Amino acid sequence: MDASDNPAEQDDGPFGRPLFNKPSARALSRVGVIDVGSNSVRLVVFDGAARSPAYFYNEKIMCGLGAGMSETGRLNPEGRDRALNALRRFRMLCEGMGTGPLSAVATAAVREASDGAEFRAEVLEETGIRLWVVDGDEEARLSAQGVLLGWPGSYGLVCDIGGSSMELAEIDDGRVGRRVSSPLGPLKLQDIAGGRKARRKHIQSVLADLQAQLGEQKNRLFLVGGSWRAIAKIDMDRRGYPLHVLHEYRMTPDAVRETAKHIEKSDPDALRGRVGVSSARMALVPHAAEVLREVVKTFRPRDIAVSSYGIREGMLYEQMPRQLRDRDPLIESCRFAEAKDARVPGFGRALYDFISPLFPGAGPDRRRLIKAACLLHDVSWRAHPDYRAEVCFDNATRANLGGLKHSERVFLGLALLHRYSNKRAGTRFEHLYDLIGEEEKRQAEVLGKAMRFGAMLWLKKDAHLGEMRWVSKKKRLELHLSEEAAPLFGEVAEARFRSLADSLGAEAVVGAA
């Protein structure tokens, strides 16, 4: 949502009042989170807009702590040494970055290993980091909260695969519901005797039990975890998909089946080199693909979305006050970018008010994109004028912006491209344009040209520019400027206004009664 339920915070109209400068949000401005998993140990330092934080620092070490545990019951000795070295490094990095106290969790490998408590004690003594071991239920909850950080109000089933376990959690209207944990991590599947048939029978048996606990789950399936992301990369490669952004990448059940077959038939080294997956990760992908195929077959989701957010983002979400959780992550992130980088922070709202009449039939999803575009319309002004339009498109399509489908990224990117350029042909991004339809391209052009014109009337953040009136039946675009904005309507501004009218197929009328 854009505004708080607090009436005092609704004074800022459709944008709400920014929260990132409040003490409760500033406390989250730079947060370090460590996740000690069965396969990898990762540090993420979040920074920026607390509701849609940027990855200030992100480092992963593939340690394989859980490798061989089925036989020994203990953490892998080499993996244990590597993990401890990684944690020493992470502690020093965080001291330098000023993150304050670290939040650190350990999952399946450490909680199940006979020497897990000993390892935790060694980590505390050597690094001062206190590892909190979470059980499967808590791991599922935190992963689901990570999904909610990017998709507030979402519903569906979150499926988080690690090295030694796989967790499932329901989310409904922004809340986490039932959750279960299972031993379906690829490291454990490697130790099952009997080959592919035995693994498949085991996977199906476990999933049947999980389905009995959770019931039907035919909404969206959210995939969390490095092995799922690796499979998504392979799916992109197989399809020739043009936008290599994993977050919010969508797959169909049929695509999952085809990609699983593709993985079976392909040479692992050739596939790994083509899609950029590490050898340690690639070793787990075939077993993970077997699990995913059966998950989709068992729960029959309506669609499948890849989430780059998981347990680490869930730990950040845990620290957020409710007021911050309920905010739209896209709008909060764009407001933060405007406050940090725009020449006149706050003008985005005046621009939105000015151009809104051009989109009378826009629903809530489209309006949030129009708001986002207005907030971002001036944040790339430092780029060279010859490249500014392309920089805007690149930023919108690839930036860390939560709550955006790929088609919405392209729409937003095109709108911002047209903020600086009348034409979109001839850019290096043309192969991405087909992710949206012709009418959406036209709407993005109208939005971009409206911002391009409105920026010519740039005064101050609380400026009253006047108003535009779109008379759709008569195909007439009327401009009524305020007294303070009228002197700004020079030759260039007039040319841009007429270009906007042309994009609407309309007659341009200035000062009509």
- Compute the distance between CA of residue 429 and CA of residue 412 in angstroms, rounded to an integer: 13
> In the prediction, which pLDDT does 23 show?
54
> In the prediction, which pLDDT does 489 show?
92
List pLDDT tens digits, range 31-82: 899 999 999 999 999 886 556 777 889 999 999 999 999 889 999 999 999 9
Decide: 372 and 360 in contact? Cβ < 8 Å.
no
3-state secondary structure of 267: coil
Domain end residue (candidates: 286, 313, 340): 313
- 288 and 428 in a single domain? The answer is no
> In the prediction, which pLDDT does 511 show?
79
> In the prediction, which pLDDT does 7 show?
36
- 288 and 147 in a single domain? The answer is yes
Q: Return the exposure string of 416-438: e unless at least 16 CB atoms fall within 10 Å of the residue's CB, then b.
A: bbbbbbbebeebebeebbebbee
Any domain includes 502: no
Question: Given pLDDT bands bounded at 50, 70 and 90, which one contains residue 15?
Answer: low
Any domain includes 117: yes
- 160 and 271 in a single domain? The answer is yes
DSSP 486: G
List pLDDT tens digits, range 396-428: 998 877 789 999 999 999 999 999 999 998 889
Any domain includes 394: yes
What is the rounded end-to-end Cα distance, in angstroms, of the chain?
Answer: 37
CB contact set of 388 (below 8 Å; sequence gap of 6+): 380, 381, 420
Report phi then psi at 250, rounded to 5. -110, 140
List pLDDT tens digits, range 258-307: 999 999 999 999 999 999 999 989 999 999 999 999 999 999 999 999 99
> In the prediction, which pLDDT does 512 show?
47
Query: Which of 327, 367, 377 has the alpha carbon at shortest distance from 347?
Result: 377
DSSP 509: E
DSSP 60: E
- 189 and 206 in a single domain? The answer is yes
Weakest-pLDDT range from 19-23, 231-235, 381-385, 471-475 = 19-23
List pLDDT tens digits, range 166-191: 999 999 988 999 999 999 999 999 88
CATH number at residue 32: 3.30.420.40
On average, the pLDDT of the chain sits at 90
- Token reading at 381: 């002004």
Per the model's pLDDT, the better-predicted residue between 459 and 129 turns out to be 129
Question: Given pLDDT bands bounded at 50, 70 and 90, which one contains residue 28?
Answer: low
Show the domain range for 348.
328-462
- Compute the distance between CA of residue 144 and CA of residue 393 in angstroms, rounded to an integer: 31
> In the prediction, which pLDDT does 459 show?
67
Question: Residue 10 above 50 pLDDT?
Answer: no
Question: Residue 138 above 90 pLDDT?
Answer: yes
Question: Given pLDDT bands bounded at 50, 70 and 90, which one contains residue 6?
Answer: very low
> In the prediction, which pLDDT does 46 show?
87
Portion of the chain with pLDDT greater than 90, in percent: 72
Any domain includes 512: no
- Number of domains the chain is built from: 3
> In the prediction, which pLDDT does 332 show?
87
Q: Which amino acid is at 297?
A: K
CATH number at residue 457: 1.10.3210.10
Decide: 40 and 108 in contact? Cβ < 8 Å.
no
- 125 and 142 in a single domain? The answer is no
Per the model's pLDDT, the better-predicted residue between 345 and 511 turns out to be 345
- β-bridge partners, 104: 34
Question: Residue 21 above 70 pLDDT?
Answer: no
Per residue, what are the HEC states of 189-243?
A: HCCCCCHHHHHHHHHHHHHHHHHHHHCCCCCEEEEECHHHHHHHHHHHHHHCCCC
> In the prediction, which pLDDT does 11 show?
40
Domain end residue (candidates: 280, 313, 346): 313
> In the prediction, which pLDDT does 1 show?
35
- 126 and 28 in a single domain? The answer is yes
Any domain includes 9: no
Domain end residue (candidates: 426, 445, 462): 462
CATH number at residue 195: 3.30.420.150
- 271 and 414 in a single domain? The answer is no
Any domain includes 173: yes
> In the prediction, which pLDDT does 447 show?
98
Question: Residue 165 above 90 pLDDT?
Answer: yes
- Compute the distance between CA of residue 430 and CA of residue 441 in angstroms, rounded to an integer: 12
- 119 and 264 in a single domain? The answer is no
- 77 and 175 in a single domain? The answer is no
Portion of the chain with pLDDT greater than 70, in percent: 93
- 145 and 289 in a single domain? The answer is yes
- 290 and 390 in a single domain? The answer is no
Any domain includes 484: no
- Give me the helix-helix angle, 347-355 and 438-454, nearest 10°: 120
- 106 and 142 in a single domain? The answer is no
Any domain includes 323: no
